[in-house]
A and B are shown apart, each in its own frame.
Chain A
Amino acid sequence: MELIDQHTKKIMEDCKELARAAGLRFQDESLEYIVTNRDLLEISPKVMIPTLYDYWVHDVEVLREKGKYELYPGNPYETVINTRPAISFYNDNNPDWLNVMIFYHVLGHIDFFQNNIYFQHTWDYDFTGQALSDKRVIARLRSEKNKWVDYVIEFARGIDNLVGFHDTLSRKNHVNLDRQSKKLNFYFDIFLQSVIKARINVYVQEIERYNRCIDENGALGQDIFFSEIEKKHPEFATLFQKSLVKKPRGRKDLLQFLLEHSEFLNKEENRWMKTVIQVVRKTSLFFQPQIRTKIMNEGWASYWHEQLFLKDKRIKGHEVEFARVNAAVTSLPRVGLNPYALGMRLFFEIEEMADKGRYDYEFQRLLDTEARKKFNADTKQGRALIFAVRENYCDSMFISTFLNQEFINRYNLFVAGKRLNKSKMVWEYYIKSRNVLDYQKMIQDSLYHPPHITVKNNGSGKGELYLVHHFEGKPLVNEFIANTMMGIEYLWGKPVKLETSVVASQPGPQADASASGISSLMPGAKGMPEIVWRRVVYTMDNRKLSKSEI
């Protein structure tokens, strides 16, 4: 791996200038590397992070068919990685004009990484740097503990998709109330409101009295204010002391829970395992936002490479080549979901709509189709809105908020179904629906969404760990349950239970399997019987799995 040459770097720096002028915001430094095939072989299993810790599974071809992205939130072949400075990878024989286009695309990604709030927890440090030190720690531990390090990595990775990504974010956004003293907050927020349930006028009077005390006595004002209260309400001091006793704040994900409460992990001789688990957890957290913003991120980058390159004078003489490459990247496939195409069109759509003021109430109130078609308030709010969207949305919100029937109609989108035609023995692709709700559901179903599994204290006292899968209409992949739970049992040191839902009855295969004819001409004509779900508890005890009904 080597850095790009000075000539190409100059191109990048020029691109940065123009991108900044257009409103993108990103750090000054960036690193661009030329990668060869060989480099790629080495780093793609490590999700393009060259310094990621070693793990034997990276050396083995992984069976990726089954819900591969559900298992691996990181894209193995990303061009840009979200580090400080941002690192991007290039083929060594791109012509200059193509590099200009790619650089704009890359800058779009960097802007997205550094401004979208879902990436907030990655802003304060350089992941490659941290990964390197983690890698060394793991290498050192491996020299002492051998294969056990790999077992711990394996078991921790088994549950690393359950990390509390959103909890981490919400802690980041926690509003800091500590500008005032805790005592004061307690008095006004809790004591007055919930303990003595003071009326509003009393509350306001107290605020006035506080301000007066401060004005008259300066630094001593607060003490004087409280001495009055303690005279009036002798119980205040005790209540306040009680409130200081720390309550566990925020939810803990499964890995955190194990780290804190597992007796096994907290044994002196096993403490090193916690370090390994922390590394796995941090790594997983780092990759979480990437997969949740795939459509937006690619759409945003595609929007900008098109916008910026078309205005760049370096496109002169390469218009046709650009058109070809750009079309290949951003054309809507006949069947399939291209995040570049979809995301970019949505950003253009949002910009256009907002420019015409169509997100305003005035337009929403309009019912006449003709009038809606012609509506143009010329508010020119488009750019501002797409920047706000890139800052505050993730894929799921992006789709559910902005993808509407007009967009579907405009681009001729549809949900494609696939069915078996038995008489011809072929899979038929057909247009299943052009309804926006169906389309949204189809996308939402294909978006990354790990199961929601929490720890429940059932107070049985035997020290077993009770996990609850909050069912969302999709069962867990059955054959993975045993080994995953075995891993948790190892880390917990005691039996583990998992409560989840399984199919109680499924509509059996219709009639004789060899009955001929097209199964059904009209989609949905055949009334699909509802699947009945049933709650069950899996128990992993001493590496043996058993299942019982509730």
Chain B
Amino acid sequence: MNFELQYTEEQEEFRKEVKTFLETAISKDLKHPVDPKDLTYDQYMIRRAVGKALGEKGWLWPMAPTEYGGGGLSIDHAIIIEEEVGKYGLPIPPYYDSGGRLGGPSILVWGTEEQKQEFLPPIFKGEVRTWQLLSEPSAGSDLAGVQTTAILDGDDYVINGQKIWVGSNHGAEQSWMICLTDPEGKRHENLSWFIVPMDLPGITIVPMDLLTTGGEGGAGTGEKNTIFFDNVRIPATNLIGGLNNGWKVATTHLELEHGGGGQIRKNDLVDRIINYCKTSESLGEPLIKNQDIQDNIVDIFIESEITRLFNLRNYWLAHANKQRTYEGPQSSFYRKTSALRIAEKILDILGPYAITNDEKWGLYDGAIELQHRGAIVGLHPGGTTDIQRVIMSRRIGIGREIKEQAGTLS
């Protein structure tokens, strides 16, 4: 076994190339707000410019096929790009692009050749940002119960309804959304997916007032929105993966969203807490001398390590094309529940300092306070912890034979 990414000479050469490129591609004005909700329009546009520059070289979606605007590169190169962009505090894509991250691979698996030619290059080249539109006020965990309708009228589908927990600050060019296409049809055989341009008449975006932004995967998600559709017309050719075949298409999307893709990023929260407890005193003693605090820190460390290893395992399973069953939802369940336990341990260690973002007394510019709120809000995106356990049970075959495998990723 080898838990480490190994770099060949060729990779190190490639790294030099990527480094040099990023020095000019990434603006010196790049800044990171503690709370992604505070990302300004200017800062957002800096990130979009990075995305376009990467996209032109095929480095925004390095492993996607070149005929659709991807880089056609191997995992070895993709990792180098991710690592180097990561040194600027940015993921890939360098902005919230959930529809691209989840819809792109779905289109690749389920789209027709024409659709791949039409929709994938703009995503893979960073010309558009795409939001995912799934949840509705009455369809959260029960995604198959979505009520937003898309009804064929001539050459168009006409969309009516409401989607929630959508997107981020500063809009998107298009959406990747699931709609009810056969209101009379059988459950699971009545849904379809669409690419929807967001500048069409009839679309209204209203920001939601939430505890914090939360969200799965990569870039801070920023503000969440409610989106209303009032007789929005889109060409029938924007329907992806076949009419009323949406539940099958969803397996690809949801597998990625449930953590099936894994990740190799490391979390610096533990280092921050240790560092703070070493440098701060109470009654003349560094906090770190307190045995209870030490024990709590070790518990946090252990949970972070398990989360890291589950993610690493999933990353390897996905990239080495190994068979996966319950690992994606397991990783999601563990990450979410442990993040909340960690937040509570930090509350024990730091007391009320853990939940203030006061500019004088808050820690790490409010990052610790934000982690606490984020751990609460983070319990639901991409499927609640209970839903993750339901999926695990099916895939393990608890109480019955195994009926469900992990969704297709390629």
A and B together in one complex: no
Residues in A lying within 8 Å of B, measured CB to CB: none
Residues in B lying within 8 Å of A, measured CB to CB: none
